[in-house]
């Protein structure tokens, strides 16, 4: 029984079950509330462990250890099991309040087991409870903010939230060796095959990927309109007054001709050269290269640089217009830079983390291009930041 309580299966179920329920019952809140809250719990808990560096009880008193397998080797404070179990209890109570006693009973049992098995102190599970509660309620109030509610309608915000969660998950799995370089290679190959065979995917899988990548509109005209930029786009958006109503009153042959053109374009199939899930593919590929090329701490810091820096930058920018002024872009980049330094300092000296992140920020802010085409951030950020960290490390 003790081995089952301490098994990775239990914590996996506790972590995934609220996300599955949220995705099925309250999809608009999935990305604004439940997914980022759980990602922050995992990452901040891991960060606090390294900052506090409190040894586990059985390190000094081996006789209190109550399990023989899956013995954790990281630090004690706070308890991630307790934090995730607390989030589990709050989240399930949100959907099924009548069973709140059951959800918090499960949370209490898990938290107590961490102490009785000699894996944590009581202060650790209390801190886990506080962490889970703070994250739940912080994102609860944030998700009910009117401005935050607009994120669910913004495909770029959806994409960046997934980007952040995916990067934090990769680092978590690599840090605790749940994911080996070979398994990461297999996952990269799978994503590559998935992208290459986008045209043959079932409709439901396509729609799920499109939900996180772009708006539900999937015709050829959508992709053409998405590429429309510059003054022409804003001129069309500002079209009002007599010109607008004149076009609405358009009748006769010209009207029906335009309707026929729209209908034909609407049902025109998507171009075959467009692939789905390219973002996760490039992200995983660059992470794999970072793991193979650099030392473990530098590789993990480089992945965090991409996951956090790019996401925080874009999400802060989503509060402004589609093309914010350069000063606002710079403000978002500085905010992202501070978060990246805070996250990577657990793997690197402060000076190295600060200078390497600054160099990556400057390169990203310069919007590098090759023959007029922008270089995908997912490809170059981990490699560039990894090179800078390696050169700066004494």
DSSP string for residues in 165-208: HHHHHHHHHHHTTSS-HHHHHHHHHHHHHHHHTGGGS-HHHHHH
The answer to whether the CB of 133 falls within 8 A of the CB of 90 is yes
Tell me the pLDDT tens digit for each residue of 109-150.
888 888 888 888 888 988 898 899 989 888 887 876 665 555
Measured in degrees and rounded to the nearest 5, phi and psi for residue 370 equal: -125, 115
264 pLDDT above the threshold of 50: no
Is the confidence at residue 323, as pLDDT, over 80? Answer: no
Query: Residue 245 above 50 pLDDT?
Result: no
Q: How many CB atoms within 10 Å of residue 295? A: 14
20/92 Cα distance (integer angstroms) = 11
What pLDDT, on the 0 to 100 scale, is given for residue 244?
Answer: 47
Helix, strand, coil shares, percent, the chain, to 5:
75, 0, 25
Return d(Cα 305, Cα 344) in angstroms, integer. 8
Residue 27 has pLDDT above 80, yes or no: yes
End-to-end distance of the chain based on CA atoms, in angstroms?
A: 48
Q: Residue 150 carries which DSSP code? A: G
Q: Quick check: 167 and 283 in contact, CB under 8 A?
A: yes
Residue 175 in this model has a pLDDT that exceeds 60: yes
Give φ, ψ of 369 to 5 degrees. Answer: -140, 155
pLDDT band of 263, cuts 50, 70, 90: very low
pTM exceeding the 0.75 threshold for the entire prediction:
no
The SS3 of residue 318 is coil
Q: What is the pLDDT, as a whole number, of residue 215?
A: 45
Task: Locate 54 and state its tokens.
Answer: 């409190």
How high is the pLDDT of residue 277? 80
319: pLDDT confidence band, cut at 50, 70 and 90?
low
What digits encode the pLDDT tens for the residues 325-379?
555 567 677 778 887 887 888 789 989 998 998 888 887 766 777 777 777 788 8
Q: What is the per-residue pLDDT across 64-76, written as a single tens digit (0 to 9) for each?
A: 777 777 788 888 8
- What is the C-alpha to C-alpha distance for residues 180 and 174, in angstroms, rounded to an integer? 7
The answer to whether the bond into 78 is cis (omega within 30° of 0) is yes
What would the pLDDT profile of 182-225 be if each residue is shown by its tens digit? 999 999 999 999 888 888 888 888 877 776 665 443 333 333 34
């Amino acid at each position: 029984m003790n081995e089952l309580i301490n098994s990775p299966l239990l914590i996996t179920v506790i972590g995934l079950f609220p996300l599955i329920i949220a995705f099925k019952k309250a999809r608009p809140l999935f990305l604004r509330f439940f997914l980022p809250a759980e990602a922050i719990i995992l990452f901040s808990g891991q960060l606090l462990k390294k900052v506090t560096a409190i040894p586990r009880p059985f390190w000094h008193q081996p006789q209190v250890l109550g399990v023989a397998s899956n013995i954790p080797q990281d630090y004690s404070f706070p308890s991630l099991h307790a934090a995730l179990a607390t989030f589990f209890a709050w989240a399930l109570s949100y959907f099924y309040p009548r069973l709140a006693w059951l959800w918090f009973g499960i949370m209490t049992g898990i938290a107590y087991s961490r102490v009785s098995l000699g894996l944590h102190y009581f202060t650790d599970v209390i801190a886990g409870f506080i962490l889970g509660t703070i994250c739940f309620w912080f994102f609860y109030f944030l998700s009910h903010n009117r401005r935050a509610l607009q994120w669910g309608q913004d495909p770029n915000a959806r994409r960046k939230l997934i980007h952040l969660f995916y990067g934090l998950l990769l680092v978590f799995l690599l840090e605790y060796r749940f994911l080996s370089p070979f398994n990461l290679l297999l996952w990269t190959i799978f994503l590559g095959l998935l992208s290459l065979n986008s045209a043959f995917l079932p409709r439901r899988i396509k729609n799920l990927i499109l939900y996180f990548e772009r708006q539900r509109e999937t015709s050829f005209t959508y992709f053409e309109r998405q590429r429309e930029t510059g003054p022409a786009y804003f001129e069309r958006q500002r079209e009002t007054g007599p010109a607008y109503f004149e076009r609405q009153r358009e009748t006769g042959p010209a009207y029906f001709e335009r309707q026929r053109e729209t209908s034909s374009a609407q049902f025109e199939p998507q171009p075959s050269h467009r692939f789905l899930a390219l973002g996760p593919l490039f992200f995983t590929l660059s992470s794999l290269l970072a793991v193979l090329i650099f030392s473990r701490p530098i590789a993990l810091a480089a992945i965090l640089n991409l996951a956090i820096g790019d996401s925080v930058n874009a999400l802060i920018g989503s509060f402004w217009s589609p093309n914010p002024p350069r000063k606002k872009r710079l403000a978002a980049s500085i905010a992202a830079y501070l978060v990246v330094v805070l996250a990577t300092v657990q793997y690197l000296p402060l000076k190295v983390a600060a200078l390497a992140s600054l160099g990556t920020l400057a390169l990203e802010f310069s919007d590098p291009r090759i023959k007029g085409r922008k270089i995908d951030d997912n490809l170059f950020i981990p490699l560039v930041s990894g090179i800078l960290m390696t050169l700066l490390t004494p």
